[in-house]
Structure 1
């Protein structure tokens, strides 16, 4: 009688810390517009502005200020267009169904572009649904203006700290990478499970830091001295990251002075310290320690350098293309992507059915059905199935709280402190999981919509029924009818990672003829290494998503886990071998490198053709002495992992 594992995973609160600044900001951002509306004797206007602020509060998830502008401002622009279109078709039956279905198609396709685009597509559709389902003040442009004003008020509150903390998010992200590397070096030579966990934390921190720093770099057409310094501090850490696997494979812990020195560099990065580095490190013993020592000393020099050479910093992007060129690429990729069209059609089908029920069937329904579909049917936010179930549970919990408020709190100025408290719960609960976020958002939307349609306590029961209908539509027409939604994609993504591992092996030991080829080979090797670990990070994300699916999807995903770990170790073994070659070991013969790459590609092809894991027979004598001996061992282990296909 115990609840299933996938449900318990969704109900278990996350350990993510609460952003208390966001909590305070959310309470102020949503209460002030409502208070202004009451002061002007226009509570409907205040409610609309607070709704706009709600989308800004939900979208304020980035660290860097420039990214926060994109995360808040761009969705507001799309949201204004959405509510304008929704207002124009309010109460118009089949016209409303057709328009919202088309908007859902566009929203789904836009959401496939990336994180910011996903937020834009979500707000675009949400506001269109609200505009088509609630009576809006005249003239038609009033609602878009008020919703945008509420969202921009959130942006204004967010940017108040920019003059004081303008560079802090980037420095903090890079410092977090240094601390993660220090933890990995501390675990090197110890238990494999501990080191693997620390290495995953390094990969995650590197991904976040590069996304943050390079995302900001993409918005600049010149070279910012502060950005050059942060980027140099991040790039110089790569040799130390590469030396960590070699240190681990030697089987002995590093001297404690090494991770302590890396943590001191993390503090220097975060505080912006410059000057002469003071390193007190023991003499290195063997090639692995020499690699760590050389990388650490070089990192210390760059970290404490006040002005790194701007022309000696590899920003991994080059000069960004013009906005017009980048926009053209994005639109072309979106229009030619099968996945983009399939998600858009799924969302359009569900919204069309929900809006048909609202507009055409002679029963008491509301925009809440389509609103539920919009929130739940977001595959890029996690499992659609578990989100549908958790949405129903979270809505029920939120409606209990809303019922207490509607029953006990008189309408009027008392709504302002109530909204302030409830709005503050949104970022606090969002950090703990989707079901908690839903429970926090539901009473806020309900109370604000009550100021527009004045139904009071009578809203509670219909809204619960509407949510259940919306979840049912998603489960049937947005989930069960689409095989890719209930088949795990771990295998396909893992196969891509194995192919990238083969490419990494080839580039890591590619022969070079001169200094220019050496630099090009090193750059190519770094890019290949970053790609494989980023791919594996994506595999882990897909793995976590699949575990929240009901059987058999979750159990099939769990079967891939040993091979995921094995492929990560192949990447580590390749890096460690390259480090040993850099410090005096004999380079492997090209024939051996080619044979390993071919075996990896065979493994990748077998993974793609299998429902779960594939059995690959390991030929005898596959392991041989030399610098690649650990890589042979890890590859043999990966190829030996098997599980019968169902």
Structure 2
């Protein structure tokens, strides 16, 4: 036990799984998303009630709620995919679940839902949009099977698509509060009335230049590693923001070309800044000022103007000066290379779904979804329920089994606490609110709170619980808060058991898959740089993929490390491997900049590459031995 200095007290650290459950995201209130949430489910439900089609209004409002959960910060173009693709999967799940629930017996229905769980779990391993797609597929299939509507099944699908489409329309049409409409001196260059359509893209690209400036400022200090990670995150967001479909192919083409050129011009700047940070070389303030002015030009949609040039005393500083000059020219011309697309082939996506991570996630999702559906039907047919429908239990299990929402125990604790609080709150509201107008108002308020509550899983669960219970009561079902609490706790128990069951193959398949992808991307980048190719566009694309896969691996490893010790031990050592890969990619970037300037590597560069390769082999060997012992 280490001695403690007199007069000081040492607070015991919380275990990682509990600390994660208590941690919440920070940031400004997304007022635009709040407004969209208020205008989505409530008005849809009101219109349906007035038309005497309350059940269809419930379906539309559920779709709007799910779309609101996926309505995250970013550009309008990415919202088309982020909201639209899961909504289409949700419509398919609703149709399959409705007809399967009407025409199949309990055993056959359970098998069908288990199969859907396998499919939804497997595709969820691909990425965030795929994860939301798998979630909606399973949730709506549970709702369709366990909450049969009085209208024919084919009518519920258009209602669901209308609800999701309504929120997506609001996302595309409504301007963002506070968005700039361009500099009046350059109205001839852009149509300022349409400029708000690109506020998300513009903010994302500007954040990249700010992140470059922050990294340059931290070069030679202990903050450089964190600032380089922040630059990677900013580049990832900008890459996603520019990767969606065009909103107006002809009228907005000039604005889009300008944003693509500005993003492409940031890549050599980030490369030079990373090389300076690797060299632990302090950068003069005048060199930091250039990216800051470029960030301001992106936000104001203005010309770059004169930029202060750094002294050209070292290869990395000369690369920074050349990158600033290239950026100024790209800003003035308003066109450049289109480098935003992340190239992922169908074959690579299939390998992800069918790989170790996809198989493990698919098995756990299928088991949880199928088991919870079977238990829910048994309770329903045994008349243990105080309400008519049994969808709550499997739908809850879907959210609980998702690893991208946090560690398993953290998800369970947050879901249980949020459901209890939400059910109790709704019981109080149901006792005093008039019907149906009070329930419609409650749905509108909860829809507005969903974007804010998304910062913490327990808060989001509380709001969604109140919203769904209000919708169900508006559809004619009696108040059943106590039953929802019991079903949620039962779903928590099922997911905890399944989450700790051994699966065929090794534990931690998702972590292994992320590390292997990062390793492959890092070595592809290294091979290109050492191969002497002059194709810088390909080099920047490979560099982006290397850093992006590393960031994804780091995020997965951080979540796995916050699990209970019985699960966390299976990812032991993975973080050290990712750290070595990160240093390898940083060193490769420094080598690329130096080769551009001199055509040869210094002994320091070559020695660092050789040392990192040896360390990577050693770390991977240790991880393999520790996993063998863990099994």
Return the alpha-carbon distance in structure 2 between the equivalents of residues 120 and 146 of structure 1.
Answer: 18
Q: Is the 8 A contact 1:498 1:604 kept in 2?
A: no
Q: Which residue of 2 aligns with 1:519?
A: 534
Q: Does residue 480 of structure 1 match 2:501?
A: yes
Q: Does residue 179 of structure 1 match 2:210?
A: yes
Task: Using the TM superposition, give the Cα deviation of residue 448 of structure 1 relative to its aligned residue in structure 2, in angstroms.
Answer: 1.0
Q: Which residue of 1 aligns with 2:549?
A: 535
Q: Does residue 401 of structure 1 match 2:431?
A: no
Return the alpha-carbon distance in structure 1 between the equivalents of residues 539 and 569 of structure 2.
Answer: 35
Q: Does residue 508 of structure 1 match 2:552?
A: no
Task: Using the TM superposition, give the Cα deviation of residue 300 of structure 1 relative to its aligned residue in structure 2, in angstroms.
Answer: 1.7
Q: Is the 8 A contact 1:89 1:132 kept in 2?
A: yes
Task: Using the TM superposition, give the Cα deviation of residue 559 of structure 1 relative to its aligned residue in structure 2, in angstroms.
Answer: 5.7
Q: 1:200 aligns with which of 226, 229, 233?
A: 229
Task: Using the TM superposition, give the Cα deviation of residue 357 of structure 1 relative to its aligned residue in structure 2, in angstroms.
Answer: 1.5
Task: Using the TM superposition, give the Cα deviation of residue 119 of structure 1 relative to its aligned residue in structure 2, in angstroms.
Answer: 1.9
Task: Using the TM superposition, give the Cα deviation of residue 95 of structure 1 relative to its aligned residue in structure 2, in angstroms.
Answer: 3.5
Return the alpha-carbon distance in structure 1 between the equivalents of residues 232 and 465 of structure 2.
Answer: 36
Task: Using the TM superposition, give the Cα deviation of residue 263 of structure 1 relative to its aligned residue in structure 2, in angstroms.
Answer: 0.9
Deviations 1:124-146, CA, capped at 9 Å, x for gaps: 22111112112412222232232
Structure 2 unaligned residues grouped into runs of 5+: 1-11, 176-193
Distance 1:153 1:344, change over 3 A: same
Task: Using the TM superposition, give the Cα deviation of residue 464 of structure 1 relative to its aligned residue in structure 2, in angstroms.
Answer: 0.6
1:90-105 equivalences in 2 (<5 Å) = 90=101, 92-105=105-118
Q: Is the 8 A contact 1:390 1:434 kept in 2?
A: yes
Return the alpha-carbon distance in structure 2 between the equivalents of residues 76 and 585 of structure 1.
Answer: 52
Deviations 1:505-529, CA, capped at 9 Å, x for gaps: 4432334xxxxxx423x44543443
Return the alpha-carbon distance in structure 1 between the equivalents of residues 128 and 508 of structure 2.
Answer: 23
Return the alpha-carbon distance in structure 2 between the equivalents of residues 88 and 248 of structure 1.
Answer: 59
Structure 1 unaligned residues grouped into runs of 5+: 512-517, 615-643
Q: Is the 8 A contact 1:29 1:53 kept in 2?
A: yes
Q: Which residue of 2 aligns with 1:629?
A: none
Return the alpha-carbon distance in structure 1 between the equivalents of residues 120 and 226 of structure 2.
Answer: 37
Q: Is the 8 A contact 2:90 2:136 kept in 1?
A: yes
Task: Using the TM superposition, give the Cα deviation of residue 70 of structure 1 relative to its aligned residue in structure 2, in angstroms.
Answer: 2.3
Return the alpha-carbon distance in structure 1 between the equivalents of residues 14 and 383 of structure 2.
Answer: 35
Q: Which residue of 2 aligns with 1:107?
A: 120
Deviations 1:396-447, CA, capped at 9 Å, x for gaps: 12112112212222332111222221221111110x2212211111111111
Task: Using the TM superposition, give the Cα deviation of residue 565 of structure 1 relative to its aligned residue in structure 2, in angstroms.
Answer: 4.1
Distance 1:173 1:314, change over 3 A: same
Distance 1:8 1:503, change over 3 A: same
Return the alpha-carbon distance in structure 2 between the equivalents of residues 95 and 25 of structure 1.
Answer: 40
Return the alpha-carbon distance in structure 2 between the equivalents of residues 268 and 221 of structure 1.
Answer: 24
Deviations 1:99-132, CA, capped at 9 Å, x for gaps: 3223223322333344333222211221111121
Q: 1:580 aligns with which of 591, 594, 619?
A: 594
Task: Using the TM superposition, give the Cα deviation of residue 601 of structure 1 relative to its aligned residue in structure 2, in angstroms.
Answer: 4.5
SS of equivalent residue, structure 1 residue 611: helix
Return the alpha-carbon distance in structure 2 between the equivalents of residues 217 and 241 of structure 1.
Answer: 26
Q: Is the 8 A contact 2:125 2:353 kept in 1?
A: no
Tell me the TM-score normalised to structure 1 length: 0.82
SS of equivalent residue, structure 1 residue 61: coil
1:181-330 equivalences in 2 (<5 Å) = 181-189=212-220, 191-192=221-222, 194-216=223-245, 224-248=253-277, 251-274=280-303, 277-281=305-309, 283-306=311-334, 308=335, 313-315=337-339
Task: Using the TM superposition, give the Cα deviation of residue 537 of structure 1 relative to its aligned residue in structure 2, in angstroms.
Answer: 0.9
SS of equivalent residue, structure 1 residue 86: helix
Task: Using the TM superposition, give the Cα deviation of residue 25 of structure 1 relative to its aligned residue in structure 2, in angstroms.
Answer: 1.0
Distance 1:243 1:415, change over 3 A: same
Return the alpha-carbon distance in structure 2 between the equivalents of residues 467 and 485 of structure 1.
Answer: 30
Q: Which residue of 2 aligns with 1:12?
A: 23
Return the alpha-carbon distance in structure 1 between the equivalents of residues 234 and 582 of structure 2.
Answer: 16
Q: Is the 8 A contact 1:387 1:434 kept in 2?
A: yes
Q: Is the 8 A contact 1:498 1:600 kept in 2?
A: no
Q: Is the 8 A contact 1:104 1:125 kept in 2?
A: yes
CA RMSD across the alignment = 3.5
Q: Is the 8 A contact 1:495 1:608 kept in 2?
A: no
Q: 2:199 aligns with which of 148, 168, 179?
A: 168
Alignment size in residue pairs: 592
Task: Using the TM superposition, give the Cα deviation of residue 223 of structure 1 relative to its aligned residue in structure 2, in angstroms.
Answer: 11
Q: 1:364 aligns with which of 371, 384, 402?
A: 384
Return the alpha-carbon distance in structure 2 between the equivalents of residues 201 and 331 of structure 1.
Answer: 27
Q: Which residue of 1 aligns with 2:465?
A: 442
Q: Is the 8 A contact 1:488 1:553 kept in 2?
A: no
1:562-573 equivalences in 2 (<5 Å) = 564-573=578-587
Q: Is the 8 A contact 1:10 1:548 kept in 2?
A: no
Q: 2:558 aligns with which of 544, 554, 563?
A: 544
Return the alpha-carbon distance in structure 1 between the equivalents of residues 73 and 296 of structure 2.
Answer: 22
Distance 1:219 1:434, change over 3 A: farther
Return the alpha-carbon distance in structure 2 between the equivalents of residues 434 and 370 of structure 1.
Answer: 18
Return the alpha-carbon distance in structure 2 between the equivalents of residues 299 and 403 of structure 1.
Answer: 59
1:75-154 equivalences in 2 (<5 Å) = 75-90=86-101, 92-154=105-167
Q: 2:621 aligns with which of 609, 624, 634?
A: 609
Q: Which residue of 1 aligns with 2:187?
A: none
Task: Using the TM superposition, give the Cα deviation of residue 472 of structure 1 relative to its aligned residue in structure 2, in angstroms.
Answer: 1.1
Q: Which residue of 2 aligns with 1:463?
A: 484
Distance 1:50 1:550, change over 3 A: same
Tell me the TM-score normalised to structure 2 length: 0.84
Q: Is the 8 A contact 1:506 1:597 kept in 2?
A: no
Return the alpha-carbon distance in structure 2 between the equivalents of residues 424 and 80 of structure 1.
Answer: 23
Deviations 1:480-508, CA, capped at 9 Å, x for gaps: 33388964865774465456545544432
Return the alpha-carbon distance in structure 1 between the equivalents of residues 378 and 333 of structure 2.
Answer: 68
